[in-house]
């Protein structure tokens, strides 16, 4: 299945949360096979949008459509990674990565193979930790395990819900490079509140501004990701993004 | 060292205060027998006491096992079947607000003087705390995990078995601790209302014959038994949670 076919079309999207209008006739086309970043301040509603894309908000509670380019639904083509690695503390790294088999009750040829999981974990530098439980791992290792789990799902669309915000600066930078490498050619939608992170990784950045988001300002950073954050051009773009973010009042 | 010595110091202190109290108040042995008299009764009637204690122990253990099992089943039932909640919750509240002691005579009437009525008493007392604690744990599956399971296409039953139940174990184990602490109440109340064996029966019987030293000896055995049962349960539950890395309610 060619990954580039997985454009995500959001059309006439209306969403309210606790009597507050978050999205008001919002339309956006996210490019397939590219790294799309939704940038916005805390509480602006970017998480809600990501949840809607992931199918976690039932379509009955919002108006508008979120579909693939060919009009098909996205569910079943999506994997999801969050700030919390969501590893099960009683399972070791390998078992955690293969949890999808258990949850979908797959076995035999349908299941994700152990060998594939092991070789991916080895690539991610976790070879020596296969039998370790999450409590004994560092934050970065836990997030790498979560990344392995996400990748093994092998879906064309990957949604990232601020996956790096709980990591320390150096680990975060390492995770940026690693994630960028492994998610090449996937349709990535990442939300973040960090303009620098967005500039480092994004093919295209969409700035979401409340209240009642009606449209997103788009920015295509120069050069190809992952970018060097010391680049001067990038710093200029950083200023642009900061301005765009700060000329509205944050809601919370 | 102090940790090991502490129980002995407390017990010795307790016995000392008891003896002093007997000495000062000059209480007759049919009101408050001296510790030595109680130990004498314990020694002389040891076989009688252990026979009756065995019956009570059996009642407590059976009550605990059956009550916990029923409690777990109801909690699972409540957590998985939505309509069950509306029907079962009032019944649960009724069984709990009705003083179980008031039911004891009826239970004896229906189930006879033997073991079943006492076990039923213990079950009634244990059932609610176990159900409530486990159900609460099952309801508190982290939102992020629910989202991840949904995106991963998890089967509800597999999600329950592999994620929700293990994550609810810390809550269940608090319920089981309460259950173990209250189970002896059920057994003893049952024996008081009508029985021909067990420590509760022996105490009533001894009381009627002014054998207060025997009554105290029975009480002593009962407390040692209850404390041992509680501490064993507590220890085993802690070991289990530690083994599953679920102690301190770690969930990530």
Q: Check CB contact of A78 with chain B, cutoff 8 Å.
A: yes
Looking at the complex, report in whole angstroms how far the Cα of residue B144 sits from the nearest Cα belonging to chain A: 8
| B2 lies in some domain | no
Q: What is the average per-residue pLDDT within A125-141?
A: 92
Average pLDDT in the B171-176 region? 95
Whether A86 has its CB under 8 Å from any CB of chain B: the answer is yes
In chain A, % of residues over pLDDT 90: 36
Q: Which residues of A touch B241 (CB under 8 A)?
A: none
Query: What is residue B5's predicted lDDT score, i.e. its pLDDT?
Result: 86
Distance from CA of B218 to the nearest CA of A (A): 43
| Measured distance CA(A179)–CA(A228) in Å, rounded | 15
Chain A CB contacts of B250 under 8 Å are 89, 135
Comparing alpha-carbon positions, the chain B residue that sits nearest to A81 is B148
The minimum CA-CA distance between B133 and chain A, rounded to whole Å, is 21
Contact A86 B144 (CB under 8 A): yes
Q: What is the pLDDT of residue B224?
A: 92
How high is the pLDDT of residue A2? 44
Position A3 pLDDT exceeds 70: no
Report in angstroms the alpha-carbon separations of A93 from A127, A130, A162, B156: 10, 5, 22, 23
How many separate domains does chain B show? 1
Strands A204-208 and A187-192: unpaired
Q: Is A17 on the interface with B (CB under 8 A)?
A: no
Q: Which residue in chain B has the smallest CA separation from A149?
A: B152
Which residues, including other chains, have CB under 8 Å from residue B211's CB and lie 6 or more apart? B41
What does chain A come to in residues? 252
Express each pLDDT in B183-242 by its tens digit: 999 999 999 888 889 999 999 999 999 899 999 999 999 999 999 999 999 999 999 999
> Does residue B170 belong to any structural domain of this protein?
yes
CB atoms under 10 Å from CB of A57, counted, come to 17
Chain A: nearest CA to B152, how far in angstroms?
Answer: 7
Q: What average pLDDT does range A203-208 have in this prediction?
A: 91
Report yes or no: B48 and B38 within 8 Å, Cβ to Cβ: no
Lowest mean pLDDT among A146-150, B41-45, B99-103, B116-120: B99-103
Q: Is the pLDDT score of A196 beyond 50?
A: yes
Which helix (DSSP H) or strand (DSSP E) does residue A7 occupy?
Answer: none
Record: contact A104-B155, CB cut-off 8 A: yes
Task: List, for residues A216-246, the tens digit of each pLDDT value.
Answer: 888 888 878 788 878 888 888 888 888 888 8
- B18 in a domain, yes or no? no
- Chain A CB contacts of B158 under 8 Å are 102-105
- Burial group, residue A78, by CB count within 10 angstroms (0-12, 13-18, 19+): buried
Res A248 pLDDT > 80: no
pLDDT range class, residue A5, cuts 50, 70, 90: low
The rounded distance, in Å, linking the Cα atoms of B32 and B22 is 7
Instruction: Give the CATH number, domain containing residue B185.
Output: 1.10.3720.10
The pLDDT mean for chain B works out to 90
Confidence (pLDDT) at A73: 79
Q: Is B149's Cβ below 8 Å from some Cβ in A? A: yes
d(CA B207, CA B216): 10
Domain that holds residue B102: 41-249
Asked if A20 has any chain B CB less than 8 Å from its own CB, the reply is no
Name the band, by pLDDT with cuts 50, 70 and 90, for residue A251: very low
Mutate to test the interface with A, among B145, B152, B247 (most CBs of A within 10 A): B152
What b-and-e string marks burial along A236-251, b requiring 16 or more CB atoms within 10 Å of the CB?
ebbebbeebbeeeeee
Give dist(CA A3, CA B75) in Å, integer. Answer: 44
Domains of chain A, earliest start first: 3-77+155-246 (3.40.50.300), 89-154 (no CATH)
Average pLDDT over residues B13-34: 90
Q: Which chain B residue has the Cα nearest residue A139?
A: B252
Residue A27 host element (H or E): strand A20-30
| Neighbouring residues of A58: CB distance < 8 A, sequence distance ≥ 6 | none
pLDDT of A206 strictly over 60: yes
**pLDDT at res. A224:** 81
Does residue B120 form part of some domain?
yes
- Given a cut of 80, is residue B250 above it in pLDDT? no
Using a CB-CB distance cutoff of 8 angstroms, which residues of chain B are in contact with residue A76? 153
pLDDT at residue A249 in the model: 52
**How far separated are the first and last CA of chain B, in Å rounded?**
36
For A58-96, how does the pLDDT look when each residue is reduced to its tens digit (9 = 90+)? 888 888 888 887 777 788 889 999 989 999 999 999 999
Q: Do A86 and B244 touch (CB under 8 A)?
A: no
Could you tell me if residue B4 is inside a domain? no
Determine the angle formed by the axes of helices B35-44 and B46-80, rounding to 10 degrees.
Answer: 90
Of B150, B166, B252, the CB nearest to A84: B252
Chain A residues with beta carbon closer than 8 angstroms to that of B245: 89-90, 133-135
């Amino acid at each position: 299945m060619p990954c580039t076919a997985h454009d995500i079309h959001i059309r006439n999207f209306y969403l309210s949360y606790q009597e507050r209008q978050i999205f008001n006739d919002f339309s956006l086309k996210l490019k397939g096979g590219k790294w799309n970043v939704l940038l916005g301040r805390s509480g602006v509603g970017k998480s809600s949008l990501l949840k809607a894309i992931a199918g976690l908000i039932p379509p009955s509670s919002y108006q508008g459509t979120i579909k693939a380019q060919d009009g098909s639904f996205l569910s079943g083509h999506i994997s999801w990674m969050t700030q919390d690695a969501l590893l099960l503390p009683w399972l070791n790294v390998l078992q955690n990565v293969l949890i999808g088999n258990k949850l979908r009750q797959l076995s035999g040829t349908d299941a994700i193979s152990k060998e594939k999981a092991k070789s991916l974990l080895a690539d991610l530098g976790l070879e020596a930790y296969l039998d370790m439980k999450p409590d004994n791992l560092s934050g970065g290792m836990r997030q790498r395990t979560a990344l392995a789990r996400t990748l093994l799902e092998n879906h064309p669309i990957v949604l990232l819900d601020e996956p790096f915000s709980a990591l320390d600066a150096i680990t975060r930078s390492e995770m940026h490079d690693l994630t960028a490498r492994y998610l090449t050619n996937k349709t990535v939608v990442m939300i973040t509140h960090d303009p620098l992170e967005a500039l480092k990784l994004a093919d295209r950045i969409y700035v979401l501004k409340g209240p009642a988001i009606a449209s997103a300002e788009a920015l295509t950073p120069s050069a190809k990701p992952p970018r060097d954050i010391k680049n001067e051009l990038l710093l200029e773009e950083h200023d642009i993004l900061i301005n765009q973010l700060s000329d509205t009042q944050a809601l919370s | 060292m102090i940790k090991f010595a502490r129980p002995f110091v407390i017990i010795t202190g307790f016995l000392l205060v008891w003896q002093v109290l007997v000495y000062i108040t000059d209480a007759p042995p049919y009101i408050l027998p001296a510790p030595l008299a109680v130990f004498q009764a314990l020694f002389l009637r040891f076989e009688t006491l252990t026979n009756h204690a065995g019956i009570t122990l059996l009642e407590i253990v059976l009550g605990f096992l059956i009550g916990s099992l029923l409690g777990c089943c109801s909690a699972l039932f409540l957590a998985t079947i939505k309509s069950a909640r509306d029907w079962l919750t009032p019944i649960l509240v009724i069984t709990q607000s009705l003083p179980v002691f008031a039911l004891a005579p009826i239970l004896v009437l229906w189930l006879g003087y033997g073991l079943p009525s006492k076990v039923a008493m213990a079950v009634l007392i244990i059932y609610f705390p176990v159900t409530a604690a486990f159900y609460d744990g099952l309801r508190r599956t982290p939102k992020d995990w629910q989202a991840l399971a949904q995106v991963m296409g998890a089967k509800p039953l597999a999600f329950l078995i592999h994620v929700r139940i293990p994550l609810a174990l810390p809550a269940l184990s608090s319920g089981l601790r309460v259950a173990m602490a209250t189970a002896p109440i059920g057994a003893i109340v049952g024996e008081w209302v009508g029985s021909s064996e067990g420590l509760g029966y022996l105490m009533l019987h001894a009381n009627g014959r002014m054998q207060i030293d025997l009554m105290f000896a029975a009480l002593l055995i009962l407390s040692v038994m209850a404390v041992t049962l509680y501490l064993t349960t507590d220890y085993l539950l802690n070991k289990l949670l530690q083994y599953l890395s679920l102690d301190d309610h770690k969930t990530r």
